[in-house]
C-alpha cells in the first residue's frame, strides 16, 4: 500500500554554480515540515504501517535526523504516535530538526553512540514492551532505507524521465548515507532500461564503503534487479558525519547565491563532490535530498 503524502512532481531546475551548469531535482520541495527525500520512502513505509493497523510508528537517527522529523510529522498526520530513538550528538541539539520533534510531541529517547550500535535490537525490545501494553508498533529502519522505502525513488526516476531525456544524461549525483535513496534511483534506472546513466553516491560519513555497497546490493536484490553499477564517490566525508569542512561551508554559500540552499550534513558534501568530480562536458543531475532544518542547527558555521 502506498500513501500520497508528497507534493509531486518536484521541479527539475537548471542551475549555474561556480561556472558550471547542472540540473537539480528539487526534492527539498516535497513538502514543508516533511520536506526532503524521506517522504517518498515514507509513502510506502507508512502505507505498510496503516495496512497492519499500527498505532505507534518507531524509528531512529541522529539527533538532527531529517528522517526522524519527517516520520514524526507524518505519523501525527496519520494519527499514529511517533517514537524516535536519537543518537546523542552536538551542537544544536535544541534547534533544527530536534526542536521540531519536540514541538510536535514525539516520544524521544536519546541514546549513546555505543547504544546506537544496537539500535535495531533496542527498537525491537521497545516494540515488544508496547505489545504487552496492547499497542502495535511499526518499526522503520534508519533513514527509511529498506527495499520498501526505496520504492519511493524508483517512482522518482519515473517522474524524472518525464522531465528530461535520461538518454542524454551522463550521471545522477546523490548524497549516500543509509543508501536507500541511492539504491532506489539505481533500481529505477535499471527497471526503465537507462543503463548508461551512472548513479554516483557521494559518501557523507566514514563508515567502510564495503558496508554501504552491501546495503545497496541487498536492497537491489530485494527489488528484483541486478546489483552491478554501484558507484561511490569518496573523499568528501569530512572529519565525520555531520561535520562539514571549510570547503563545504563555502559550497553552501556559493550554491546559496544561485538560489539553492544546501545543508551541512548531506547536500553540501554531495554537491561539492559533484562539482569536483563531474567531467566538464558531462550532463548531470543532482538530487537535492533536503535537510534545510539541519542548517539552522549549525548556523554558527556560516558566521563571518
Among positive and negative, which fits the CA dihedral 190, 193, 198, 199?
Answer: negative
Output the pLDDT for position 134. 97
Active site residue 218: no
Which one is catalytic: 65, 75, 145, 150?
A: 65
21 exposed, middle or buried (CB, 10 Å; 0-12, 13-18, 19+)? exposed
Structural domains in the chain, sorted by start: 12-36+145-302 (3.40.50.1100), 39-143 (3.40.50.1100)
Q: Could you report how far apart the first and last alpha carbons of the chain are, in Å?
A: 49
pLDDT at 89: 64
Question: Is this prediction's pTM over 0.85?
Answer: yes
The owner of cell 508496547 is 130
| pLDDT score recorded for residue 304 | 57
Query: Looking at residue 30, what is its pLDDT?
Result: 98
Q: How many residues does the chain have?
A: 304
C-alpha cell at 62: 541522529
Q: pLDDT tens digits for the chain (304 residues)?
A: 999 999 999 999 999 999 999 999 999 999 999 999 999 999 999 999 999 999 999 999 999 999 999 999 999 999 999 999 999 865 556 799 999 999 999 999 999 999 999 999 999 999 999 999 999 999 999 999 999 999 999 999 999 999 999 999 999 999 999 999 999 999 999 999 999 999 999 999 998 999 999 999 999 999 999 999 999 999 999 999 999 999 999 999 999 999 999 999 999 999 999 999 999 999 999 999 999 999 999 888 887 5
pLDDT of residue 301: 84
Amino acid at each position: 500500500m502506498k500513501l500520497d503524502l508528497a507534493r509531486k512532481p518536484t521541479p527539475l531546475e537548471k542551475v549555474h554554480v561556480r561556472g558550471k551548469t547542472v540540473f537539480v531535482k528539487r526534492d527539498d520541495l516535497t513538502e514543508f515540515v516533511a520536506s526532503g527525500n524521506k517522504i517518498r520512502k515514507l509513502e510506502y513505509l507508512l502505507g505498510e504501517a496503516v495496512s497492519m493497523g499500527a498505532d505507534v510508528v518507531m524509528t531512529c537517527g541522529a539527533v538532527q535526523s531529517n528522517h526522524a522529523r519527517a516520520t514524526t510529522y507524518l505519523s501525527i498526520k496519520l494519527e499514529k504516535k511517533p517514537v524516535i530513538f536519537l543518537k546523542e550528538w552536538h551542537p544544536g541539539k535544541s534547534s533544527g530538526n530536534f526542536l521540531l520533534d519536540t514541538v510536535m510531541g514525539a516520544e524521544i529517547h536519546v541514546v549513546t553512540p555505543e547504544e546506537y550500535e544496537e539500535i535495531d535490537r533496542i527498537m525491537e525490545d521497545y516494540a515488544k514492551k508496547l505489545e504487552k501494553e496492547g499497542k502495535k508498533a511499526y518499526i522503520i529502519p534508519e533513514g527509511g532505507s529498506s527495499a520498501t522505502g526505496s520504492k519511493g525513488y524508483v517512482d522518482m526516476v519515473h517522474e524524472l524521465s518525464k522531465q528530461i531525456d535520461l538518454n542524454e544524461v551522463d550521471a545522477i549525483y546523490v548524497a549516500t548515507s543509509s543508501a536507500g535513496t541511492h539504491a532506489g534511483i539505481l533500481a529505477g534506472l535499471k527497471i526503465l532500461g537507462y543503463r548508461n546513466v551512472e548513479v554516483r553516491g557521494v559518501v557523507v560519513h566514514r563508515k567502510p564503503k564495503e558496508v554501504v555497497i552491501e546495503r545497496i546490493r541487498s536492497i537491489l536484490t530485494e527489488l528484483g534487479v541486478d546489483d552491478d553499477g554501484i558507484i561511490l564517490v569518496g573523499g568528501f566525508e569530512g572529519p565525520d558525519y555531520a561535520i562539514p569542512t571549510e570547503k563545504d561551508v563555502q559550497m553552501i554559500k556559493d550554491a546559496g547565491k544561485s538560489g539553492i540552499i544546501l545543508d551541512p550534513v548531506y547536500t553540501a558534501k554531495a554537491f561539492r563532490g559533484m562539482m569536483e568530480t563531474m567531467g566538464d562536458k558531462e550532463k548531470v543531475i543532482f538530487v537535492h535530498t533536503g535537510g534545510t532544518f539541519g542548517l539552522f542547527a549549525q548556523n554558527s558555521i556560516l558566521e563571518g
